[in-house]
Structure 1
C-alpha cells in the first residue's frame, strides 16, 4: 500500500488553505477608497468564490481516496487477525493491501489504519471550514451587489455626459417620504392593496426554508405567506408601498404604511427603505440612499450580521437586518412566555411594543405605485 502520496496530498491541501482559513480571525481590512472600482471588488469576490469551490472539490477527491484505502484495509481485516484460519496464504493476504509485494504485519496494518482514520478526521474538519468560508464569501458578494445598486442610485449625472453603467439590474427608483399610519383597514383592502401575510392563531408553521418563502405556503383563508416571487411580480420595478397591521394581547392595534422597493431573487428579494423610514423602524446605521435588507431563511443566510444567522437564531424568514428591528414571521405563542430567551423568537415589532413582546396577530399588505 502506498500511503505517502495520499498523505502528501492532504498536507498540501492544508498548506494551500491555511491562509484562507486563518483570515477569519484577522481584523477586517480598511474600507475600499471612495473612488475604487466596484468591478474590481466584484472580480476579487468572484475569484475567492472560485477558490472556495476548488478547495471543496479537492477535499472531496481526497476523502474518496481515503475511503477507498479504508475499504481495502477492511477487506483484509479478518485475514490479518487470523492468518492460520484463512484460506489464503500469508503472501496472498499481504498482497491484498500491498499489491507491490512485501510483508505487512498486523501491527503495521493497524498503525496505518489508525493514521488513515486520524487523517480522514482532519480532512473532514477542513472540509467543514472550507464550506463555512464559502458561505461567508457568498454572503459578502451579495452585500457588494447591494452596495453597487446604492452607488448607482447616488452617482451624479451631468448634462451632455451619459455615465457608463455596467450590465446589471436596473437602478432602484427614487422613493417618496414616509407617510403617516393608515388607520382604516377596510380602506386598504378596497384600495388596490394585496394581502401577502397573515398571522392570527398559530395554525401554520412559519419556520420554513427558502423555497417555501419564495413560492408561498399556508391557507389564504387563514394564516399564509403569499410568496416572494409572487410579491415581486405584483410590484414589478415600480416604487411601492407596504402596510403593516399589528395587534397585541391587550386588544391594542397599530397600523403603519411606508414606501419601499422590492428587488428580485438576484438581490435575495432585498427590501429598500428610505432614510426616514429606516430611522423610524429603529435602524441606526444606513447609507445616504437608505437601508437595503435582503430576505433570509435558516437555509439561506443573507442578513447583515456577519457573526450569526438571524433566521436560525430566531425563527421564520424575514428581512432581518441585524436581527433586532422586527420579525413578523417568528414563532407564534398563544401566551407570552416567561423566559426572555424564548420571547425573542416570537413575532415582534421593536418600535411599537418592544423587542421582547410577542404579538397576537399581524397582516402585511402591498400596493404598487406609479413608476418613477
Structure 2
C-alpha cells in the first residue's frame, strides 16, 4: 500500500535531515573523532523515498488536472445554463409586457362592449316603445274601422270617410279576403278533380272485377303450359300493375297489361301491401349492355324475368301520358346501404323526345334529376337532346338518360364492380351525384312507377 503524500513528505524530510549532515563524536576524554557520513543503504532509502515522492506528486498532479477539467466542463455547463436562464428571463419579461398590453386591450374592449350593450339596451327599449305605440295606433284604427262599418250598416255615415288611409285599409282587407276565397276555391276544385278521378278508377275496378272470372278462364285455357312465375291478367282492362293489384293480384312477377291506345305488352310488377308498382328499369350485375341506340331505348331491352332490363320509352309513355305518376328510384351502394327517392312525373311522347316532366319540388338528394319548364328530354349517343351545347353527354358518359348538363345522374351508365383508375372512365358509371358523387359506381338500381292518385304515400 502506498504511503499518503503527507506521511511520505515527513519521512523524506527526516531522512534527509539525518543523512545529509555529518556528525561528530567525542570520546570520554574529550578528544575529537573524524567526521562520519551516512551509509550507502541510507542513501538508497533516501533515493527510493524521493522516487516515491515524485510518483505520488505526479499522480496528485494528474488527479488535480482531471478535477480541473471536470470543473471546467461544469463551469461551461453552468455558463450555458445561466445564459439560457437569462434568455428565458428576457422572454418572460417580453411575455409579461405583451400580456399586460393584451389585458389593457381586453379592458378597453370590455368597456366598448359595455357601451355597445348599453346602447343596444336603449335601442331595444326604444323599439319596444315604438311597438307599443304602433299597437295602440292599430287598435285605434281597428276601432275606427269597426265604427265606420257599423255606421255603413245601420244608416247614413256619420264619420269622416275622406281619410285615404281608412279607404286603403278597407281595400286591402277586402283584397286579402278575396285572395283567401280564391285559394279555397282552387283547393276545393283540386279535391273534386281527385275525387272524380278516384270515382273513374273505382268504376274501372268494379268493371274489371265483374269481367275477371271469365277473362281469366279464357286466358288460362290458352296458356296452360306457361311457367308458374308468369302471371297473365286481362289485357283489355289493366293499364298498369296497380290495376292488377286492385283486381286481386298480390304476387310480384310478370304480367301482361294493355294501356289505352297501345298494344299489350309484358311488365314486371312489384306488389306491396299498399298497391302495385310497374318496374321500368333494373340494374344489378352488369349482365346487360345499356350503351344502346335511340331505337333500342324506345322499344326496350334486357330480361324482365331475372336480369337487368329497360322497359322502353314508348311503353312508359303509354302508361303515363293520361295522368300523373309517381316515379320511385331505389339505389344500393357497395356497403348495402339503401336510398329511395320519389318524384311526381309525367312522360311526353316521341315528338318531344320523351321529355320527363317533374311536377313536384325536389330536395337536395332529388336534385340530381331536375327538369326544365318544358321537360327534360331523353338522349342517346346517336340522338343528342341534352342541355349542354356542342357536347354529347350520352356519348361522353355512356348509356341513354335524361341528361341536363352531364354531371348530375346516370342510372343507365356502365356497370363497374371495381372502379377504373382513369377519371374519364369512372364518369361513365352508374351514379347519383347528390348521394355518393358522380365517381361512385352504384351496386343496384330499380326504377318503378304507379299512378299518383293511388300511391298512399304520395
The structure whose Rg is larger is: 2
Report which of the two has the higher share of helix.
Answer: 2
| TM-score for both structures, normalised by structure 2 | 0.38
- Where relative contact order (Cα < 8 A, 6+ residues apart) is larger, the structure is 1
State the TM-score, normalizing by the size of structure 1.
0.47
